[in-house]
Structure 1
């Protein structure tokens, strides 16, 4: 977990019974805002990537294998990075990184050179204040594409991967007020990836249905409780259909949407 006020990263060790009795703290850069775990150097250990709100950088900390992490390696991204995501964007079987930069309405893509070392960033324009991302092969060409939530513009941006991690210019779709979170899955069992967006300012989620070309032309809107700030997709009842769970920040509860589509 990131601790913004004291500029540290806290790691809680799972005892094996679902409890976390011990923790280790690492001092990192100023104002850490997001952290993710992924094996970056193919040693079967989960490494850490951290973003910092007021810097133009992210840090990579390699897992030493004894529940400790090495010294942070820093990489330049855009201003005010807020969200990190990992996927193999250039099909070399190595996890790359994408970072939302709220300060200049862009994302940065960093390619893994093979041992967890990353090349220089490549930037792509999005809408205002990008704050969350989702991935999927939206147009079924074998390349991982990106969808980005733009909370300052009430839109999402879809960037199609043309191959070798080269992305097309963003295509914008209007959503509702203050979109804050996005997830991707095939919700209607047509074989195409769909998107769902949580809209904090309108107490709603919107499902955008994709076609085989990565176009999201139709949609459905569902009401939530107050200030939905995160949406996750998964088959919560093991019926083979992708359901949704939404956290509502101001009503302090969670809403589960069960998928009732016909398979």
Structure 2
């Protein structure tokens, strides 16, 4: 929609305010107290939405640079098949024709291996059904080549990788709820060597993480039988000893390491029920400082990144059951803004950070043949798409600060809420506001009280409820 059209619609709605309200039989008006705050969430243009058609049935993906150009490509696959689909990113931001590779062994999970220069040379994969793990190479020309594989007597489910500082050899950690303990894999000449770290225990997930701040990767693993996190310290030669146990009390998933507060100490993140738990690393390796992010839905997969480019690490997750993508932007080193449900699309199955030339964002894959990306809006054009919640319904416009830059307000019907998107001087969406409603409504009327104060009337013709919000966009108060 063009800017001129937005201005014209806004003025037309405002002049009809009193007339339309007078035609409604008002039986109830819901007013909000002035001490209620309207959280101002800095999205900073992170709302550009693109969708691409891909082959149906594919439900996993990873990002890598296939040919060394400035653009990141994507590998898509089905966890029970032996087919890889390569999507090459083009200069114009689209993906070119897909390249299909048939592999000699099935892929349940696949993770890129990096050398000391951070170049992707090979991929570690697991074939869970066949109880094996191996390494493929994927060259610029030719088909993927199976280099090595090794078999087990139990079912590997998860992969974590690390590079040993002094020789650049990749170490690979395998775990799984039906896998015997913990195993480390590494290449030795023309073989893939497996070494068992722990036997006869069940770890649903395990990751490499520098727990002791000595530059060597240690191991954090979740013991499924004791509902506990176990820490294994590395002596520098990849000999591990169990050093600590933290009782969690229930099953966790999506265990990962990330320096979330950017203090140069690795933090632990995991999903517990309908929440994301964070244990912050420190100089003493205590992991006693914690934060819990309550989520609207169970996070089936989480990722992190500075999505709104404000220097803080944010969190994104997907929920399979409701097919939603949610963003949780960081507010401070240990605090977060309220969750924003960005979109709802049928069949969402995977989520990854997606970084390419001039692109920082998220890629989401659905198994019904759709690939979605959410990235930053750099400039506006007539055909740009932006995310507007899972089920946007009633829509209107207003002008915060009366500066001629038309802003957007809408009602989301999925979780009934009133939402505003305020744009900066370039017209790029900058702030997002959201307030829960009692009911869903089909119309919004805007009253321009003052440059930074607006009243919004949410209602459905013939219904008995009007929800009125008077919002001060300077201090965030709602009355």
The alignment status of 1:205 with 2:221, answered yes or no, reads no
Q: Greater Rg, structure 1 or structure 2?
A: 2
Partners of 1:77 and 1:99 within 8 A in 2: no
Summarize the alignment of residues 84-163 of structure 1 with structure 2, pairs less than 5 Å apart. Answer: 84-88=110-114, 93-115=119-141, 117-126=143-152, 128-138=154-164, 140-162=166-188
Gaps of 5+ in 1: 1-14
Shift of 1:26: 0.8
RMSD value over aligned CA atoms? 3.0
Q: How many residues align?
A: 242
Residue 192 of structure 2 corresponds to residue 167 of structure 1? yes
Matched, 1:27 2:55: yes
Contact 2:115 2:163 in 1 (8 A): no
CA distance 1:257–1:89, change in 2 (3 Å)? same
Q: Deviations over 1:63-122 (max 9, x none)?
A: 23332242232231534x221100136989443111111011111211133458532352
C-alpha separation in 2, matches of 1:201 and 1:72: 43
Secondary structure in 2 aligned to 1:128? coil
Counterparts of residues 1-263 of structure 1 (less than 5 Å)? 17-28=45-56, 30=57, 32-65=58-91, 66-79=93-106, 81-88=107-114, 93-115=119-141, 117-126=143-152, 128-138=154-164, 140-162=166-188, 166-174=191-199, 177=202, 179-199=203-223, 202-224=226-248, 226-248=250-272, 251-262=273-284
Distance (Å, rounded) in 2 between the aligned partners of 1:238 and 1:63: 30
Q: Tell me how far apart the structure 2 counterparts of residues 236 and 199 of structure 1 sit (CA, whole Å).
A: 24
> What TM-score, normalized to structure 2?
0.45
Unmatched runs of 5 consecutive residues or more in structure 2: 1-42, 286-479
Structure with the higher fraction of residues in helix conformation: 2
SS of the residue corresponding to residue 151 of structure 1 reads: coil
1:215–1:133 distance in 2 versus 1, CA, 3 Å: same
Paired residues of 1:208 and 1:220 also in contact (CA < 8 A): yes
